[in-house]
Structure 1
Amino acid sequence: MKSALAHGFQSLTVRNFRLFAGGQLASVTGTWMMVVAQDWLVLSLTGDSGTALGVVTALQFAPLLLLTLHAGVLADRYDKRRLLIGANAASGILALLLAALVLTGSVRLWHVFLFALGLGVVNAVEVPTRMSFVTELVGPDLLPNASALSAAYFNAARVVGPALAGLLIGWLGTGTVMAVNAVSYLATVAGLRLIRPAELHRGARSRPERARAVDGVRYMASRPDLLLPMLLVAVVGMLGFNFQLTLPLFAKTVFHADATSFGLLTTAMAAGSLLAAFASTGRRGRPPLTLVIWSALGFGVLEVLAGLAPTFAVAAVLLFLTGFGSISFAQAANHRIQLGSDPAYRGRVMALYTLVFQGTTPFGALLIGWLSERLGARSGLLAGGAATVLAALLVLVLHLRGAGRRPPGAPAGAREPSDSVSP
């Protein structure tokens, strides 16, 4: 038991990763507080408009669609640590400006739109850089553990952040929550500055002089074992992971919840996600594609059931399970793709991962927002879950057809040739 627990937290023995994780925990907690405050502010300004909430979500994720591939080039070419310091400082400044507008009573809906767009531009650089930087912090052998622990602190923040936000919004208002988020970015910047560059795991090919986005796309196209999980990630990211939009509408229009109750629903889902993240810390090596497929299928079924929940208490339980399923899928897909990628292309591969997982969100947010406004908040969860189930079944069929084309005499359990690529 003790050895299993020690293995689960093995990455924390690395000083650089401890500094990074500590800063991220504080910052991500502030970010989740900000998510609740921003959503509540938009609903308050617009009279519970699902379309307006969809527009905000779309604006926040649109830059990921347009800029992420170029950000992957930056991550492969330049110092990731310095890129992350600049991105987090910029996010803090944006959050502080919006907080000032809210606290002075000057905020308008277009201010929120503008802030969401600005934050999306910063995130287009920060997300793929952060994902690929984890390998430099701990090395390829500890990557699955470090990635799972990253998901764990991310979801611990999802538990604490919304609950704190729900309390603070009712007590001090949304502006104070946004100010707290702005200050939280200082923890990440401080942690990054304390990291020792000499102890980073930077391979000889990790910063090519002439890295190009098109080379990353060609590399991905040449790897069928990466394309199928990436297809699943695209569908789930676009339609299944719209909880920033669906949950506030679900809480406020179906169960007529206040900010505190909305925070509890978000916390229930985050608690399930946190449990799944800790469960993933024991993973060793690259997961098989079948695990990615079945985890997507399970997540889709749970999301549909959550959308059908008859009471607030049942919804909280089902959202807990949905949160578990969401991170089980996301971790399996992330490890499948990242651990199968050549280090020289990892920044661009994770940029593509970010592009299809989060960059497609604007399309899904607008569609789910439109659907929710016309057919009710439940329809957003039902549509996202159903699309995920269909995508998982499609990828399963494609995978089985590919297995059926295995050369005669090859063993049924033989690995794909590309599985042998060193992480």
Structure 2
Amino acid sequence: MNEPSSDRPDSPDSPVDLNRRGRARRSAESNAAAPSASDVREHLPLSGAFQRFWCTRVLSSLSFQMLAVAMGWHIYALTKSALALGIVGLAQFLPMFALTLVVGHVADRYDRRRIAAVCQAVECAAAAVFAFGTYAGWLDAPIIYGLAACVGAARAFESPAVAALLPAVVPRTLLPRATAWSTSANQAAQIVGPALGGLLYGIGAGPAYLACSLSFAAAALLVSSIPLRAKPATRTPVTLESVFSGIRFIFSEPVILGALSLDLFAVLFGGATALLPVFARDFLHTGPLGLGLLRSASAIGALAGTLWLARFPLKHRPGFVMFCGVIVFGIATAVFGLSHQYIVSLLALMVLGASDVISVVVRLSLVQLRTPDEMLGRVSAVNSLFVGTSNQLGEFESGLTAGWWGARRAVLAGGLATVAIAFLWMRFFPELKQTRSLDREADRAG
């Protein structure tokens, strides 16, 4: 994987050629080293390389979740503005949007472990500035926006590098299960991170930011030590065609395009996390710890879902299951928007998280199993842009609509729009709905 052919021509290969050669190489690797099904279940979580990868994901996600809670509560306490919460999301999204084509090529040309470590070091420094600014008393809204943009730029490089790193850590036959375990790392961090961030922020903003900085530093050290099954990608010439090849590949694959765009629009309209400080403080009348628990609730549901998918991977009609999960996600979002009770809000967020993780696992598995290894970084970068659009830009959209209509109406409308998107995408992308397997070859054979 990631080793270019010695007779590669100077001009970039087409996505079809890359896909054919990537399938042949990965098939040979999996035939040579593929364990039995029982070995997969028993040994994947015990693999030393995968353990380091998993712990890296936990630490980085834990840091980011704590930082998100601290930034959200801090900016709302300073401004009392839902729009300001949206601007924080926009500040993180814009660098990701601007750097999409660059970060993908970087992930395919350089050691992905080193890229992730450098990005986590930058995030560590940004959290340290947050802590110092809080203690010194000069941290205000514009500075928070600027630091959020720095974090967004670092994550723009980190996300595709880490996502493209997984196929070099585990054999191809383990990727669906490894993806579910990897997703569980994010969910575990999203359970502990927001609650811990809220608890630390209750003590003081400085300790919360300092804990984020230390956790990012630990992640940077750990990712550098991950042993790989394949050598890092060899640097190849950069051309305009190769830069845009990831986008061209996605648009040539309706199943991948449908999964990415469905997840994008569903979370773009259905995301309510940006408004959680408003609901916690103004409607549910709770403090920073209560806000942290609200942010953790969706991750609790998602963790339960990922553990289930890790034990019982999706084998039949994953696209249809993804559509069902998005519909449930929209309904749970609407219930949260209407809720006046803290416990009902927690339960709605748990259901929301459990249903959302289905689309996450399906989307990541489709990208990793149907993309040639030599362009996985570029495709993962576009995938990260879709995720960033749905998350950070979705936060801006939520803050903007909440400023127009009020928080409750904005969340309710978003949930209903998500359900409508799912039904429309069934018409627009029948290939996704009808796909029988995550792997293209198994899908064709079926």
**Structure 1-normalised TM-score?**
0.88
Q: Which among 117, 139, 157 is matched to residue 125 of structure 1?
A: 157
Counterpart residue identity of residue 135, structure 1: P
Q: Which runs of structure 2 are paired with 1:247-266 in the superposition (5 Å)?
A: 247-266=276-295
Report what 2:18 is aligned to.
none
Report what 2:373 is aligned to.
343
Show CA shifts across 1:5-26 (max 9, x none): 9855643232112122223323
Report how far residue 92 of structure 1 moved.
Answer: 0.5
Counterpart residue identity of residue 210, structure 1: P
Q: Which among 405, 422, 429 is matched to residue 375 of structure 1?
A: 405
Report how far residue 419 of structure 1 moved.
Answer: 4.7
1-structure distance, mates of 2:130, 2:246: 36
Counterpart residue identity of residue 396, structure 2: L
Q: Which runs of structure 2 are paired with 1:130-169 in the superposition (5 Å)?
A: 130-169=162-201
| Closer/same/farther in 2, CA of residues 66 and 10 from structure 1, 3 Å limit | farther
Conserved in 2, the CA contact under 8 Å of 1:286 and 1:339? no
Show CA shifts across 1:73-131 (max 9, x none): 11111111111111111110111011100122221111101100111111110011111
1:386 aligns with 2:416: yes
Identity of aligned residues (%): 27
Show CA shifts across 1:302-332 (max 9, x none): 1112211131111111111111111122112
Report what 2:215 is aligned to.
184
Report what 1:50 is aligned to.
82
Q: Which runs of structure 2 are paired with 1:279-298 in the superposition (5 Å)?
A: 279-282=308-311, 283=313, 288-298=318-328
**What is the root-mean-square deviation in Å for CA atoms of aligned residues?**
2.7
Report what 1:307 is aligned to.
337
Report what 1:21 is aligned to.
54
2-structure distance, mates of 1:29, 1:93: 16
Report what 1:95 is aligned to.
127
Q: Which among 247, 266, 291 is matched to residue 217 of structure 1?
A: 247
| Closer/same/farther in 2, CA of residues 287 and 140 from structure 1, 3 Å limit | farther
Q: Give unpaired runs (5+ residues) of structure 2.
A: 1-35
Report what 1:33 is aligned to.
66
Report how far residue 46 of structure 1 moved.
Answer: 0.5
Q: Number of residue pairs matched? A: 405
2-structure distance, mates of 1:279, 1:415: 18
Moved more, 232-241 or 156-165: 232-241
2-structure distance, mates of 1:168, 1:20: 26
2:237 counterpart SS class: coil
2-structure distance, mates of 1:416, 1:18: 24
1-structure distance, mates of 2:166, 2:438: 26
Moved more, 288-297 or 234-243: 234-243
2-structure distance, mates of 1:90, 1:340: 32
2-structure distance, mates of 1:192, 1:123: 15
| Closer/same/farther in 2, CA of residues 114 and 370 from structure 1, 3 Å limit | same
1:226 aligns with 2:256: yes
1:271 aligns with 2:300: yes
Report what 1:246 is aligned to.
275
2-structure distance, mates of 1:61, 1:352: 13
Moved more, 377-386 or 358-367: 358-367
2-structure distance, mates of 1:403, 1:195: 34
Show CA shifts across 1:228-255 (max 9, x none): 1122022124222351x12222222221
1:353 counterpart SS class: helix
Q: Which among 2, 6, 12 is matched to residue 45 of structure 2?
A: 12
Counterpart residue identity of residue 110, structure 2: Y
Conserved in 2, the CA contact under 8 Å of 1:64 and 1:355? yes
| Closer/same/farther in 2, CA of residues 301 and 62 from structure 1, 3 Å limit | same
2:244 counterpart SS class: helix
Counterpart residue identity of residue 249, structure 1: V
Report how far residue 32 of structure 1 moved.
Answer: 1.4
| Closer/same/farther in 2, CA of residues 413 and 141 from structure 1, 3 Å limit | closer
2:123 counterpart SS class: helix
Report how far residue 387 of structure 1 moved.
Answer: 2.2
2-structure distance, mates of 1:314, 1:125: 37
Conserved in 2, the CA contact under 8 Å of 1:240 and 1:387? yes
1-structure distance, mates of 2:191, 2:42: 20
Q: Give unpaired runs (5+ residues) of structure 1.
A: 405-411
Counterpart residue identity of residue 193, structure 1: S
1:256 counterpart SS class: coil
Counterpart residue identity of residue 166, structure 1: G
Show CA shifts across 1:243-282 (max 9, x none): 1x12222222221221121122122222111111111213
Report how far residue 68 of structure 1 moved.
Answer: 1.9
| Closer/same/farther in 2, CA of residues 176 and 415 from structure 1, 3 Å limit | closer
| Closer/same/farther in 2, CA of residues 415 and 268 from structure 1, 3 Å limit | closer
1:78 aligns with 2:110: yes
Counterpart residue identity of residue 383, structure 2: Y
2-structure distance, mates of 1:259, 1:286: 42
2-structure distance, mates of 1:414, 1:110: 49
Report how far residue 179 of structure 1 moved.
Answer: 0.6
Conserved in 1, the CA contact under 8 Å of 2:119 and 2:158? yes
Counterpart residue identity of residue 207, structure 2: T
Moved more, 104-113 or 216-225: 216-225
1-structure distance, mates of 2:354, 2:220: 30
2:224 counterpart SS class: helix
1:209 counterpart SS class: coil
| Closer/same/farther in 2, CA of residues 20 and 395 from structure 1, 3 Å limit | same
